[in-house]
Structures are given as C-alpha cells and as structure tokens.
Amino acid sequence: MSGESQNPFSPRVMIAVILVGVFAFSGFALLGLYAGELRGGDDGGGHPLSKSAIGFQGAVVMAQAQGVPVVISRDPLTDPNENGALRVLTPDVDFDPKALREYDREGNLLVVLPKWSVQPDPRHQGWVRKIDLLSNLAVQRPISDLSRPAFYHRKGITRPRLHGAGGPFGEGTYLPLGPVDRLQTIAGPDFHPVLTDEQGRMVLAVYKDTQLLVLADPDLLNTQGLKDINTARAGMAILNVLRGDGGLAFDVTPNGFMRTRNPLKLAVEPPLLGGTLCLLAAIILMGVHAAVRFGPARTGGRALALGKAALIDSSAGLIHAAGKAHELTPAYAALIEARVAKSAGDRETDPAARTARLMRQEAGRSVTTPLSDLLPQARSATNRNAALTAARKLFQWKSEMTRDRR
C-alpha cells in the first residue's frame, strides 16, 4: 500500500488547517496584547476620550479644528515635551495623588479637577446624568499630596466673568462665561491666582513657584460647558495662552487608559520586529519543507517481490517496457466476452457463436457502444492510447451488460 493511500487527509487540507490555526492564534495574541489600547474611551468618564457631559473630547476636537497639534497619550507625560506642549491631566476621584509626584512641575502642566458626581444614562451609551457636586475631599484628592486647598461653589446657575490676576494672564484680561452651574473655585495659601471671578476667587491658579496650574472648574472645558459660545471661547483662550507656541498633550493615564507593559510587545514592535519577522519566515519555510513530505514515509519493498500480485505487476511492467500493450487488446476483448457470457450462464465455447449470442442479448440492454463496434476497435489498436481507449469501452460495456462494475 502506498504512503498516499495510507494518509486519510489531503496535504493541502492539512496545510490550510495549520495556516488558519496560526493566523487565528496570532490575531488572538495581538488583540490580547493591545486590548487596552484598542479599547474605546467613550465610557462617560471625565477625560479627553469621553463625549459625555463631563468629558473633554469636545475640547480636543475644537483645538484640532483650530489647527492646534493635539496628542492623546496613553503613556505618562511625566517630563516636559520637547516642543513645549501643554500637558493636560484630567484626574478623577480614583486618581492616586502620589502619582502626581512623578510629573515634572517645571514644565507646562495643567490639572483639571473633577466637580460632578454622575451616573450612567441607561438610554444613551456613553452619556451620564448629574447626581450632585462632589464633596470637597473628593475634589481635593487628586492634588492632596501637594496641598489641601478649600473649594467654594456659587449657588445656582450664574454667568461668571473671569479676570486676569497674574502669570500669563495680565490684569486687563476679561473672559465672560456662559451659564455655569455652581461655579467651583479654589482657595489656599499654596496657590496664586491666574484667573479669578468677579468676586476675586481663583478659578485658575498656579501652585507655589512652579508651572503646575490647577483649573478648579472643569465646566470651562468639558462638553456641557463648551455648548455655550462664550464658555467655549474662554476655555480655548485658556488653553491657547497656556500652551504658547506649543501644542496640547492630554494624558489619559490618570483615567486608567495606560499603555500596558508587556515583554511580548517587544517582539512585535521596533527594533525587535525585524528579528520576529525573520523568525516567522524561518518557521514558514520549515513548515513548507515538512509539507513536501507530509504523511508517513514509504517503506522500501523487497528487491524480488513474491505472490500473484507481484507476478502480474512484473508482467505488466515487462509488456509496457516492450511496447506490446496494444497487441493484447484482442485477447482482453475475448476475456471480457467470456466473463459476460459466464455471468449470463452461457456455456458456449465457440467464440463466433458466443459473440453472436452476446450481440442478441445486448439488444435488451441500453449499452453505450455495441459489441459490434468494440471488437473492431480492439483489433485495430496500434498504440498504447488506442488500446487504453478500447479497454475502457469494453469494461464499460461489461458493466452495462452485467450490472457489475468490478
């Protein structure tokens, strides 16, 4: 039995199965490695990836529309950017205040404090509903490792007017706001005013003698604030003045969107990506080499085979080598006639009488080619192809006469 007949699976099918498995595993592994980075941020939180009322994606879109270079980073922007971009943090109440120590406060850094306690809106994915103001401790938490300032809130909805009080905003700066619900301000000895409301309370303040600025009320930059043209102008003016000639770099790591550190990522990212591709190419070549000899190896046969089958194979090989196969076609036709006559119970020994009787019998059968046409073809075969054609037709005729396809 040959190796091909021993193998129940086609090599092509097995190669296809292996390729599909490798592709599926590779895709699953890559998705697992980059799941965190591919995760969308429209979860209703107060960060630059959110479109909710307390989210800041509106500020990102508005800045981009003005031609400002904007980056949303999933890596901590602890060091100042080389091009002087303003780093913007929008920490929530779960932010670890000790993490703020890692940020260099000598470079432009703006911290936008939280204000609202919200719950998801069940009718709209990514939307939220305001519950109430956060407590002073909750608002204070993101910067509590630096200082513990107090916070004040106006009553109801007002239209504050902001005035420059120092730093990048001169005393002549005037920024009118639209309707703001319970304006949030900050107060503390460690903070110096940059923008104040008409009552002199700090809305934007700088921490001591650093470049860390704190925006007390996020409604100047979030979606619900930017819906008003005056508030939008004031919010964009704050960002434009603070960034100077640089761009904006929003750090979303305080909101849980940090790029995960995984050793496996090193293999699929430069500079090790080239080595990984070479290894993959080597594996593919090994697979191709293995597929050429797919299945069990054939065992060597005897030099001199034994048995009837060996005798038949040897005789057939000898006849083929001598080029005499077509001369055996008449004998094959006589053999077919004898087998058909025997299956019909005919004991006629005279070949001519047997042929005549078979021709009469085939009248009751629906044969493709009558015996009267087949016998001349068998006798006139002069080459191997003609002999094979006649033999096939004779075998088909036998099958149609006896209903036996063996």
The mean pLDDT of 200-229, rounded to a whole number, is 95
Report the chain's C-alpha Rg in angstroms: 44
Altogether, the residues listed in the chain come to a count of 406
d(CA 209, CA 204): 15
- Structure token digits, residue 375: 């016998």
Per-residue pLDDT at 1? 44
Q: Which residues contact 296 (CB under 8 A, 6 or more apart)?
A: 3, 6, 7
Domain boundaries, the chain: 3-36+263-292, 41-255, 308-402
d(CA 317, CA 224): 92
Question: For residues 348 and 341, is the Cβ–Cβ distance under 8 A?
Answer: yes
Burial of 40 (0-12, 13-18, 19+ CB in 10 A): exposed
Task: Please tell me whether the peptide bond between 271 and the residue prior to it is cis, using omega within 30 degrees of 0.
Answer: yes
d(CA 358, CA 401): 9
Phi then psi dihedrals of residue 71, to 5 deg: -130, 135
Q: Which residue has the higher pLDDT, 403 or 377?
A: 377
CATH of 41-255, one of 3.40.50, 2.60.40, 2.130.10, 3.40.395: 3.40.50
Average pLDDT, the chain: 85
DSSP letters, 136-169, are HHHHHGGGTTT---EEEE-SSEE--EEEE-BTTB
Confidence at 300, pLDDT banded by 50, 70, 90: low
d(CA 116, CA 218): 9
**Residue 17 in this model has a pLDDT that exceeds 80:** yes
**Residue 2 in this model has a pLDDT that exceeds 60:** no
Question: For residues 143 and 95, is the Cβ–Cβ distance under 8 A?
Answer: no
Q: What pLDDT, in 10s, does the model give residues 142-160?
A: 999 999 999 999 999 999 9
- Structure token digits, residue 188: 């503390």
255 to each of 42, 211, 268, 330, how far by Cα in Å?
12, 22, 26, 91
Q: What pLDDT, in 10s, does the model give residues 172-212?
A: 899 999 999 999 999 999 999 999 999 999 999 999 989 99
Per-residue pLDDT at 61? 95
Our measurement of the distance from residue 191's CA atom to the centroid of its chain's CA atoms, rounded to an integer in Å, reads: 48
Per-residue pLDDT at 13? 80
**Residue 119 in this model has a pLDDT that exceeds 90:** yes
Per-residue pLDDT at 3? 46
The mean pLDDT of 134-142, rounded to a whole number, is 95
81 to each of 102, 109, 110, 248, 376, how far by Cα in Å?
15, 10, 13, 10, 96
**Residue 71 in this model has a pLDDT that exceeds 80:** yes
DSSP summary character for residue 172: T
Amino acid at residue number 108: N
